[in-house]
Chains A and B, each alone.
Chain A
Amino acid sequence: MALSKMDNLYRQVILDHSAHPHHHGKLDDSTNEIELKNPTCGDVLQLDVKVDDNKITDIAFSGYGCTISQASASMMTDAVMDKTVDQAEDMVEAFSDMILGEKSNTDILEDSAVLKGVSQFPARIKCATLAWKALHKALNKE
């Protein structure tokens, strides 16, 4: 059955994160916000980040998207919580390398490392990277 090939893409933790996303919503006291769209599919992600003393002390996301983009956003928010901005930027890079099938320090990505399977589905790479791109943009926004 060809659908079993999707098992690698839709691992149970991914389905769980998508069905019950963590840090879903908005922050009242965010310091950095961004809205990012995936123009090819119309998906929208809003990301609110609170940075205190160079550290991510709170984060939340909202918007709409597919299983992969919602799960990726949920796992990203878990992973970067309480990290420094520099640590988070390292994770952005590690995630991007991993998804593109390049050598990557996946250890620092925590749960997000299960999205590695997306690299075998080129059409879905943008879904997985949307949240991390949003984080990078939010952190670099003045």
Chain B
Amino acid sequence: MDNKSNPWRKDFPILDQKVNDEDLVYLDNAATTQKPQAVIDAISDFYSNDNANVHRGVHTLAERSTEEFEAAREKIQKFINAESSEEIIYTKGTTDSLNIVARSYGQSNIEAGDEIVISYLEHHSNLVPWQQLAIQKHATLKYIDLTDDGFVDLKDAKKQITDKTKIVSIAHVSNVMGVENPVKEIAKIAHQHGAIMVVDGAQSVPHMPVDVQDLDCDFLAFSGHKMLGPTGIGVLYGKKDLLNAMPPVDFGGEMINFVHLQDTSWTDLPWKFEAGTPNIAGAIVLGKAIDYLNEIGMDKIQSYESELVDYVLPKILAIPDVTVYGPSDPKKHTSVISFNLNGLHPHDLATGLDMEGVAVRAGHHCAQPLMTYLGLSATARASFYLYNTKEDADKLVDAIIATKEFFKDGTI
């Protein structure tokens, strides 16, 4: 499919520009996605027409903004098939969501000698909060091994998760390895041992249908900005019983029931975890992003992306001296493709691609333990979304080959 026949691309004004005199090919969607006009307009609409603080005023604007704010919560609830909108907590993003689980559930449930189990492919935001909790509580942080293809290994999960394990936290889709992990199966194992299952959905929720009841996960974290929405807004889903039993982490306005001079009672879910004036516009506009995604359908987005992977992955693999990380079977590979050109540092590769208008990420992708595990310092990474096309894929492949040629004599 070329750029013109992609039905969604025209909705994203930023894509229509030149970078270094070349047409922009935006392939850094795992870092953040671009926004459709409907989302960009919604920000301006809200501030032009409906802006007021939520849950506070009796005036009409306050009512209107509160209604939209809570309506967006219900959209999110349906989007991930949560049982109730009380289970949807607005946060700043995935990092914030995971920190809330660590600081609230973790602080009150982890004791010395307990185990927290993650994997070698976790993003720092699903690693450092658990590591710090483990240090503080004298608990043990354990890592599940990866298969040769780069998946979190179910066999090893069965070994690492024991009756001492209290928390298991795994990325649903990796931001480096291009794999979808068997989180549903891992959740089963966790539950058999009485542990809770946390899923980092930063890279899955934007790209495929995610059903929290089907996964039977206890918590799910994701970010608005990776799914066409604004930065600074994200979601923590949690099972109601767990959230009800958990203490709040931030204190102040909005989250109280009644404040006395010497003590305070907390308000109900979900507001118990939303102290202070929240990111009102962000939440409402995330709702618009979800409308946009729903209109297309998450099934369709997933199958469109896998078609792109079918097309581009073999082409990248066919370039001599290129190493691709994760599965080489396109059927098993998600639209996040990490690779290296042997003998060339990924920074130099990314600068070359940038000169050709192709935006990719180069670095450790906030996954230094994974880089160490793979014996690398960094990789380049191209990540696709619904507005990318086979034309983009061809430009990426051509740019890799051109950069390889440029550096062919004299590199590291």
B356 surroundings in chain A (CB, below 8 A): 2-3
* B368:A6 contact, CB within 8 angstroms: no
- What distance in Å separates the Cβ of B368 from its nearest Cβ neighbour in chain A? 6
A41 surroundings in chain B (CB, below 8 A): 347, 362-364, 377-378
From A2, A10, A123, B357 is in contact (CB under 8 Å) with: A2
- What distance in Å separates the Cβ of A68 from its nearest Cβ neighbour in chain B? 7
A124 surroundings in chain B (CB, below 8 A): 347, 351
B60 surroundings in chain A (CB, below 8 A): none
B352 surroundings in chain A (CB, below 8 A): 3, 6
* B49 CB within 8 Å of chain A: no
* A42:B20 contact, CB within 8 angstroms: no
* A6:B345 contact, CB within 8 angstroms: no
B378 surroundings in chain A (CB, below 8 A): 41-43
User: Which chain A residues numbered 1 to 57 have a C-beta less than 8 Å away from chain B?
Assistant: 1-3, 5-6, 9-10, 12, 15-16, 18-19, 40-44
* B406:A6 contact, CB within 8 angstroms: yes
* A104 CB within 8 Å of chain B: no
* B22 CB within 8 Å of chain A: yes
Number of A-B contacts (CB under 8 A): 75
Closest-by-CB residue of B relative to A71 is B412
* A121:B411 contact, CB within 8 angstroms: no
B22 surroundings in chain A (CB, below 8 A): 2
> Given A2-B20, A3-B402, A40-B363, does the pair A18, B368 have CB atoms closer than 8 Å?
no
* B371 CB within 8 Å of chain A: yes
Closest-by-CB residue of B relative to A5 is B355
* B20:A44 contact, CB within 8 angstroms: no
Which applies to chain A's interface (DSSP): helix, strand, loop or mixed?
helix
* A66:B348 contact, CB within 8 angstroms: yes
User: Which of B371, B402, B410 gathers most chain A CB within 10 Å?
Assistant: B410
Closest-by-CB residue of B relative to A44 is B377
* B403 CB within 8 Å of chain A: yes
Interface size on B, residues (CB 8 A): 29
- What distance in Å separates the Cβ of B402 from its nearest Cβ neighbour in chain A? 6
* A2:B345 contact, CB within 8 angstroms: no
Closest-by-CB residue of B relative to A14 is B410
* A62 CB within 8 Å of chain B: no
A2 surroundings in chain B (CB, below 8 A): 20-22, 355-357
From A42, A44, A67, A123, B412 is in contact (CB under 8 Å) with: A67
* Complex: A65 Cα to B363 Cα, angstroms: 11
B20 surroundings in chain A (CB, below 8 A): 2, 5
> Given A3-B402, A3-B403, does the pair A15, B363 have CB atoms closer than 8 Å?
no
* Complex: A65 Cα to B411 Cα, angstroms: 12
- What distance in Å separates the Cβ of A65 from its nearest Cβ neighbour in chain B? 7
- B 351-375 to A, binary, CB cutoff 8 A, 1 in contact else 0: 1101111000011100010010000
User: Which chain B residues numbered 300 to 330 have a C-beta less than 8 Å away from chain A?
Assistant: none
- What distance in Å separates the Cβ of B87 from its nearest Cβ neighbour in chain A? 36
* A70 CB within 8 Å of chain B: yes
> Given A6-B355, A10-B407, does the pair A43, B21 have CB atoms closer than 8 Å?
no
17 pairs, A vs B, C-beta closer than 8 Å? A2-B355, A2-B356, A3-B355, A3-B356, A3-B402, A3-B406, A10-B407, A18-B411, A18-B412, A41-B362, A42-B378, A65-B345, A66-B412, A67-B344, A67-B411, A67-B412, A121-B351
Closest 7 CB pairs of A and B: A66-B345, A15-B410, A66-B347, A42-B364, A41-B363, A2-B355, A67-B348
* Other 10 A-B pairs with CB < 8 A, given A12-B410, A15-B411, A18-B411: A2-B357, A3-B356, A3-B403, A6-B355, A15-B407, A18-B410, A41-B347, A41-B377, A42-B377, A43-B377
